[in-house]
């Protein structure tokens, strides 16, 4: 085994979740029949489906990337905000370095954008029907979105 | 938290999967080799993302199977230092906390990285376990318990060599993430979210 490139590009939780969904991972009890490796996909899927990534769409994320540009956040910080979806200033403090110096009061604005643009995490697991539909719609756009994140990183 | 890595690997494709299309057969072999394994200094492999190129197909002398040189991409779990991640409490002992993501359990929060001042008391529900609590401004005590999601900040990711002799006392963990709760906004989610709501 040879590692050609250790880090080709970061992925958001949403992208990983979408990839696993496209391979057939789901909460459905019949998932044992799906053509997915039993150990890892399902366990990772179970974790991701309970995070904020569950209801996100490429549109949401692109919109957030667009709106967060003016705050001059590092790529890793944007990624972290998308993954966790902090909705109070105190939550966002831990994710942004030197938040006080860099943001001051605008951090409230940023939190509002997060709450407005990114959908809230599920309190209960959404019905399968809804997630499947969302999956079909978003499946094709997944790649475009990933490239964006990669480009930004370079 | 997740990223893609490009890897090259020479692998033998056993005859029993050769009835599948080649790319699929190779993917299946790759999955058995890599998925759920830690690649040293790179991360935990979650899934094979795609295959970039397939070369070769030699049948080596004395082998009943072709050997291919494959370049492929994998999804890896390797937290970046400084990243904030949500996890669940796995174990609470007097030297600190162990957190779990479900698919990855080796996240340690040593007691010196808990919010200050923190103390612990014996946990009646778990023998040998303790319950940690954070005393805020000498009055309010906040407990760290297992009902809640816990946010931690990644301080370090350590990869360890496989020991020559298997350790008997503890299962070997090839990748250990050191986390910290000692910043505002970290710790059980309810510490911060409920408070903010009641202020409003």
Span A12-32, pLDDT tens digits? 888 888 888 777 666 665 555
CATH no. of B83-191: 2.40.50.140
| Residue corresponding to tokens 């605008």 | A106
Which residue of B3, B31, B193 is in closest CB contact with A7?
B3
Nearest CA-CA distance, residue A93 and chain B, Å? 7
User: Does the interface predicted TM-score (ipTM) exceed 0.85?
Assistant: no
Top pLDDT among B175 and A104 is at: B175
Cα–Cα distance measured from residue B58 to residue B16, given in angstroms and rounded to the nearest whole number? 17
Cα–Cα distance measured from residue B35 to residue B48, given in angstroms and rounded to the nearest whole number? 7
pTM: 0.76
pLDDT for the residue B194: 62
Cα–Cα distance measured from residue A66 to residue A60, given in angstroms and rounded to the nearest whole number? 10
Top pLDDT among A134 and A109 is at: A109
pLDDT band (50, 70, 90) for residue A126: very low
Cα–Cα distance measured from residue A46 to residue B102, given in angstroms and rounded to the nearest whole number? 8
- CA distances (Å), origin A54, targets A146, A149, B188: 17, 19, 20
Q: Name the architecture of domain B2-77.
A: 2-Layer Sandwich (3.30)
Q: What is the pLDDT of residues B140-195, one digit of tens each?
A: 777 777 777 888 888 888 888 777 776 666 677 888 888 888 877 787 877 776 65
Q: Which helix (H) or strand (E) holds B70?
A: strand B66-77
Alpha helices in chain A (DSSP H): 13-22, 40-48, 58-68, 75-84, 89-93, 99-103, 106-117, 128-139, 142-153
Whether A152 has its CB under 8 Å from any CB of chain B: the answer is no
Chain B residues within an 8 Å CB radius of A41: 35, 46-47
Structure tokens at B189: 């989610």
Per-domain residue ranges of chain A? 13-50, 61-117
Looking at chain B, the domain(s) classified CATH 2.40.50.140 span 83-191
Q: Which helix (H) or strand (E) holds B76?
A: strand B66-77
Q: What is the pLDDT of residues B79-102, one digit of tens each?
A: 888 888 888 888 888 788 888 888
């Amino acid at each position: 085994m040879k590692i050609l490139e250790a880090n080709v590009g970061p992925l958001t939780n949403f992208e990983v979740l979408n990839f696993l969904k496209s391979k057939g991972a789901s909460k459905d009890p019949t998932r044992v029949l799906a053509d997915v490796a039993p150990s890892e996909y399902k366990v990772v899927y179970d974790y991701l489906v309970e995070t904020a990534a569950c209801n996100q769409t490429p549109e949401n994320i692109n919109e957030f990337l667009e709106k967060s540009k003016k705050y001059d956040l590092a790529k890793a910080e944007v990624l972290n905000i998308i993954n966790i979806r902090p909705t109070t200033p105190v939550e966002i403090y831990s994710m942004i370095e030197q938040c006080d110096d860099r943001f001051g009061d605008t951090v409230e604005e940023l939190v509002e954008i997060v709450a407005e643009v990114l959908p809230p995490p599920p309190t209960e697991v959404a019905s399968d029907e809804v997630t499947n539909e969302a999956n079909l719609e978003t499946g094709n756009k997944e790649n475009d979105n990933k490239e964006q994140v990669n480009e930004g990183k370079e | 938290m997740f990223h893609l890595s490009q890897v090259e690997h020479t692998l033998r494709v056993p005859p029993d999967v050769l009835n599948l299309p080649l790319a699929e057969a190779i993917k299946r072999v790759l999955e058995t080799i890599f998925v759920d394994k830690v690649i040293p200094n790179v991360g935990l492999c979650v899934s094979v993302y795609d295959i970039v190129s397939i070369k070769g197909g030699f049948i080596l002398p004395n082998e009943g199977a072709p050997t291919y040189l494959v370049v492929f991409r994998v999804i890896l779990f390797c937290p970046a230092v400084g990243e904030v991640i949500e996890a669940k409490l796995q174990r609470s002992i007097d030297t600190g906390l162990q957190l779990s993501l479900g698919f990855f359990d080796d996240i340690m929060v040593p007691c010196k990285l808990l919010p200050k001042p923190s103390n612990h008391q014996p946990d009646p529900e778990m023998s040998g376990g303790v319950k940690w609590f954070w005393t805020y401004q000498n009055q309010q005590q906040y407990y760290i318990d297992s009902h809640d999601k816990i946010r931690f900040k990644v301080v370090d990711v350590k990869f360890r060599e496989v020991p020559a002799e298997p350790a008997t006392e503890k299962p070997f963990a090839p990748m250990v993430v050191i986390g910290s709760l000692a910043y505002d906004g970290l710790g059980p989610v309810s510490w911060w979210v409920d408070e903010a709501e009641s202020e409003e």
